[in-house]
Structure 1
């Protein structure tokens, strides 16, 4: 099954501006929503979230828009941030040895 070509949500034939959504597109959109909800729960803007957790702001923007899917390592890191945001902030604030 090719997630880019398999249609999860077909376009509305009565809406000329609507389009099909692939399984991969749906997954990217749901991940973007999860990241945005996490960032909002922490009360942070995209630039603040990016700076606090060491993720490029442009990447955060692309993930939240559903244009790109974060790589597996970043998805794991986001789960850690979700579970322990204050601990991650403390670690990120430490000066290198």
Structure 2
């Protein structure tokens, strides 16, 4: 049996999922991995990427990252002492367009030789 979902129901489900991600567990039976909390690298990266309206592939391309790296970072598979990742994320959060320009400029320098 195929169930058709109208756009209102779909929007409600998406908004409830976003609310859950932002607020964390409501009941003691709800569980959230400690690494997926609001201040975590994974949460910040995914929230930033969504705020910019970019897919994982588009985010990776815009900031000169391998797609696998973005996927791994969002899924919490990264070294905890990844200072370079923390720095890059902070730069992109502060100035997304400026960070993208720096990446493009670096690419231009590498191809000018």
- Give the shorter-chain TM-score range: 0.5 to 0.7
- CA RMSD for the aligned pairs? 2.5
Partner of 1:72: 83
Q: How many residues align?
A: 77
Is 1:88 aligned to 2:74, yes or no? Answer: no
Structure with the larger strand share: 1
**Structure 2 matches for 1:1-97, cutoff 5 A?**
26-27=34-35, 29=36, 30-69=40-79, 71-94=82-105, 95-96=108-109, 97=112
TM-score by length of 1: 0.66
- The CA distance in 1 between the partners of 2:90 and 2:75, in whole Å, is 19
TM-score by length of 2: 0.58
Higher alpha-carbon Rg? 2
Give unpaired runs (5+ residues) of structure 2.
1-27
